[in-house]
Amino acid sequence: MKRIAVFTSGGDAPGMNAAIRAVVRSGIYNGVQVFGIVLGFEGMMDGNFISMGAEGVSNIIQRGGTIIKTTRSPRFHTKDGMLLACDQLQKQEIDGVIAIGGDGTFRASEDFHQYCSIPFIGVPCTIDNDLTGTDYTIGYDTAINTVVQAVDKIRDTADSHNRLFFVEVMGHDSGQIALMSSIGVGAEAVLIPESVTDMEHLLYVLDKGWNRKKSSCIIIVAEGGESGGAYKVAEKVKTHFDRYDTRVTVLGHIQRGGSPTCADRVYATRLGVAAVDALLAGRKQEMVGIINNQIVYTPFKNAIKQHQPIDPGLLKLTAILSS
Ligand code: F6P
C-alpha cells in the first residue's frame, strides 16, 4: 500500500477535518502517500485529486466543515459513474481509499465494489449517529451540544413569556439527536421516529404542566417522525390545547456546523488512524468504529443495514423527569 486516497461525502459533520488530519498524518507516519479527493464521489469521477502533506492539515482539528468539500452525488449511483470513478482511481495508482461519511456513503462504497476491486474503509462521520458498528459517530456529540445550547436560550425566552415551544432537530429518520438532547435540556416531551406519537399522552403532559403552573414547555421533535415535523405537531396540539402561547423553532443546519467538541476530535483521531491501519492490514469494505472504547470493524453491509437502536431506558427518562 503506497498511495491511498481520502474523501468526505454526504452531509458534513463537525470532526470531519479532524478525521482527515488523522488519516493524512497517520499515512505519512506509515510511509504512505495520501491524496485528498475534492468534492467526494463527484471529485472521484472528475479526477479531482490533490496531494496532501502534514502541513496542509495543520490547524484544522478545531474547524467545522471539511477542507476537501463534500457532495451528495446521484451521478455516482450509475454504472457509468462508478466505472469512471474506478478508472480515475486506477490512473492515480490509488491502492486503497478511506471514505469519511454516513450510511449513504458506505452504501455507495459497497455498491462500487462490484465494479472496482480497490479496497475501501469507512470512517463513521454524521451528526445522525444512526450506524450500527459504533457507539457514536463523529459529529454527533457536537451536534447535540449545539442543540442544547440553542434550546437553553429558547428556554429563557419561553420562560419569560410563559410559552410552549416545539423545537425541530435534525437526524434524518433517526431520533438519536432528539432523544439525547431532550434529556440534556430537560424537555417536557420528545417525539422520535422510533416510537409512535401518542398525542393523548402529549396533551396530558401539557395539561399537567399547565395545572402545576409550569411557566414554559419545550417539546423536542425529530424531523423524520411520522408526526410530520414541529409545525404539524404544533398545529395539531393547538386544536386541542391552546392555553400556552405557542411558537415553533426549526434549528436546521446550525446543527451541522461549528467547532467539534473534544469528544468528537478524539473519536475522529482514533478512527482516522484506525482506518489507515485497517487498509495497511489488508482489510476492505468495512467501517471502523468504537464500541465499549475498543476499535472494531463492521462490514459496510451490516453497518448500514439497520439504525443504531434507541435505548428504551433513555426514552423513559424524559417521561419520568417531566412528570
Ligand atoms: O445526514 C445529516 C443530515 O443533516 C440529516 O440530519 C438531515 O436530514 C440531512 O442531512 C439534511 O441534508 P441536506 O443538508 O442535504 O439538506
Nearest CA to ligand 1 atom 8: 172
**Is 239 buried (19+), middle (13-18) or exposed (0-12) by CB count in 10 A?**
exposed
Pocket test for ligand 1, best of 131, 170, 253 (most atoms within 8 A of CB): 170
Nearest CA to ligand 1 atom 14: 11
Instruction: Spell out the residues 6+ positions from residue 255 whose beta carbon is closer than 8 angstroms to its own.
Output: 127, 143, 146, 147, 169, 170, 177
Task: Please tell me the predicted confidence (pLDDT) of residue 306.
Answer: 80
- When pLDDT is averaged across residues 144-162 and rounded to a whole number, the result is 98
193-233 pLDDT, tens per residue? Answer: 999 888 999 999 999 999 999 999 999 999 998 889 999 99
Half-sphere exposure for 242 (CA within 13 Å, toward CB): 5
CA distance 35 to 68: 10
Any ligand 1 atom below 6 A from CB of 42: no
Task: Please tell me the predicted confidence (pLDDT) of residue 307.
Answer: 79
Task: Please tell me the predicted confidence (pLDDT) of residue 116.
Answer: 98
What is the atom index within ligand 1 of the atom nearest the CA of 170? 6
* Block residue for cell numbers 440534556: 184
Task: Please tell me the predicted confidence (pLDDT) of residue 197.
Answer: 86
Task: Please tell me the predicted confidence (pLDDT) of residue 285.
Answer: 98
CATH topology of domain 3-139+260-303: Rossmann fold (3.40.50)
CA distance 281 to 303: 20
Task: Please tell me the predicted confidence (pLDDT) of residue 308.
Answer: 80
Any ligand 1 atom below 6 A from CB of 171: yes
Task: Please tell me the predicted confidence (pLDDT) of residue 213.
Answer: 93
CA distance 274 to 9: 19
> Is pLDDT above 90 for 32?
yes
68-105 pLDDT, tens per residue? Answer: 999 999 999 999 999 999 999 999 999 999 999 999 99
Task: Please tell me the predicted confidence (pLDDT) of residue 319.
Answer: 80
246-305 pLDDT, tens per residue? Answer: 999 999 999 999 999 999 999 999 999 999 999 999 999 999 999 999 999 999 999 997
CA distance 55 to 135: 31
Over the chain, what is the mean pLDDT? Answer: 96
> Is pLDDT above 80 for 147?
yes
Any ligand 1 atom below 6 A from CB of 191: no
Nearest CA to ligand 1 atom 10: 11
Active site residues: 128
CA distance 90 to 45: 11
156-179 pLDDT, tens per residue? Answer: 999 999 999 999 999 999 999 999
> Is pLDDT above 80 for 323?
no
CA distance 11 to 255: 11
Q: What are phi and psi of 275, to 5 degrees?
A: -70, -40
The second-level CATH assignment, the architecture, of 141-256 is 3-Layer(aba) Sandwich (3.40)
Residue 2 C-alpha cell reads as 503506497
Any ligand 1 atom below 6 A from CB of 256: yes
> Using DSSP, how many helices (H) and how many strands (E) does the chain show?
11, 11
Task: Please tell me the predicted confidence (pLDDT) of residue 236.
Answer: 95
How many Å lie between the centroid of ligand 1 and the Cα of residue 90?
31
55-70 pLDDT, tens per residue? Answer: 999 999 999 999 999 9
Task: Please tell me the predicted confidence (pLDDT) of residue 225.
Answer: 84
- Render 121-146 in DSSP notation, one character per residue: EEEEB-TT---TT-S--BTHHHHHHH
Q: Find out whether 4 and 10 touch, Cβ atoms under 8 Å.
A: no
Helix H, strand E, coil C: the string for 42-93 is HHHHHCCEEEECCHHHCCCCCCCCCCCCCCCCHHHHCHHHHHHHHHHHHHCC
Q: In the chain, where are the structural domains located?
A: 3-139+260-303, 141-256
